[in-house]
Amino acid sequence: MQRIWQVVGLIPKGNVSSYGKIADLAGLPGRARYVSRALKLAPDELNLPWHRVINSQGKIAFPESTPAFIEQMQLLRNENIEVNRGKIKLSNYEWQPDLATLMFELSF
């Protein structure tokens, strides 16, 4: 879980990443569902930007109109990310970490 939390913590304001990509960057390919679980179990004091994590189709994963969906949509909009009915245009907002970020910011 530590690896996942570290990767999520690196997602910059105004960007998003998918559960699957986070799993890959954390060295856990194919474990997208584990990312979701790790975020649910993350201690509040980590202040992780959980709202920047979306599904591989560029959508908020929570069911539409739920409090979690509305909260995530508002947090993303507060970062000037366009959200249209729960969908984010990945070509505009997907986080593409450079090699230096991966080499020097990740401890694994």
Contact 53, 19 (CB under 8 A): yes
Greater pLDDT, 9 or 101: 9
At 101 the pLDDT is: 87
Q: Which two tokens stand for residue 70?
A: 């509305």
Q: What is the pTM of this model?
A: 0.94
Q: What is the largest CA-CA distance in the chain?
A: 39
At 36 the pLDDT is: 96
pLDDT digits (tens, 9 = 90+) for 8-27: 999 999 999 999 999 999 99
